[in-house]
């Protein structure tokens, strides 16, 4: 499997981020290998699919949006209280940290020690939301790799996503680091 061939590269990494556009056995194997190597693991469960119960134990962080959280937990997520219930269900399944992204409502962060609502960061008029989840997860992973705690990393991810939705497209909508740092400096 290609993951085994990349084992040394994974071991040199700060963060292993994956999503569900790959075959689930490959996703689980990648998470397992990275976790065994002591690399921070993030599962962005997009697109939303039912997952085997064994996958959650390999997730340091799981970052579903509202609809993905509902698919994974059976809990409809329409507000922060619903997101907390869904996060609790994900933690009970074995994930160590749950970050439920809530679009314009920001994100709910939960683990065994922390429960926090991180507001969305408004960067201007929303043009297109396609790719916002990818933007969030990329920013979140960068922040974790830099040693930020879960709340600060979530705020950073919200800033990246906040900028990305002000532009059309997906990869072309991703902001530069300077843009993200500037937005965070201007947002209390």
Catalytic residue among 82, 122, 134, 181: 134
Residues 115 and 86 sit within 8 Å (Cβ to Cβ): no
Which residues, in sequence order, are CB contacts of 13 under 8 Å at separation 6+?
34, 39
- The DSSP letter of residue 81 is H
What DSSP element (H or E) covers 31? helix 24-36
Residue 88 bears catalytic tag? no
Q: 3-class SS at 92?
A: helix
Active site residues: 134
């Amino acid at each position: 499997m290609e993951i085994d061939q990349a084992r040394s590269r994974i071991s040199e990494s700060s963060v292993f981020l994956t999503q569900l556009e790959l075959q689930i056995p490959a996703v689980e194997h990648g998470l397992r290998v990275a976790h065994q190597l002591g690399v921070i693991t993030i599962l962005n469960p997009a697109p939303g699919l039912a997952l085997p119960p064994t996958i959650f134990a390999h997730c340091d962080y799981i970052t579903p949006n509202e609809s993905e959280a509902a698919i994974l937990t059976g809990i409809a997520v329409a507000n922060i209280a619903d997101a907390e219930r869904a996060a609790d269900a994900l933690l009970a399944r074995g994930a160590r940290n749950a970050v439920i992204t809530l679009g314009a409502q920001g994100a709910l962060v939960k683990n065994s020690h922390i429960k926090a609502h991180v507001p969305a960061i408004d960067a201007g008029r929303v043009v297109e939301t396609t790719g916002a989840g990818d933007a969030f997860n990329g920013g979140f992973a960068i922040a974790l790799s830099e040693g930020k705690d879960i709340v600060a990393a979530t705020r950073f991810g919200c800033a990246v996503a906040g900028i990305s939705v002000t532009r059309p497209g997906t990869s072309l909508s991703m902001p530069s680091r300077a843009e993200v740092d500037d937005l965070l400096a201007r947002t209390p």
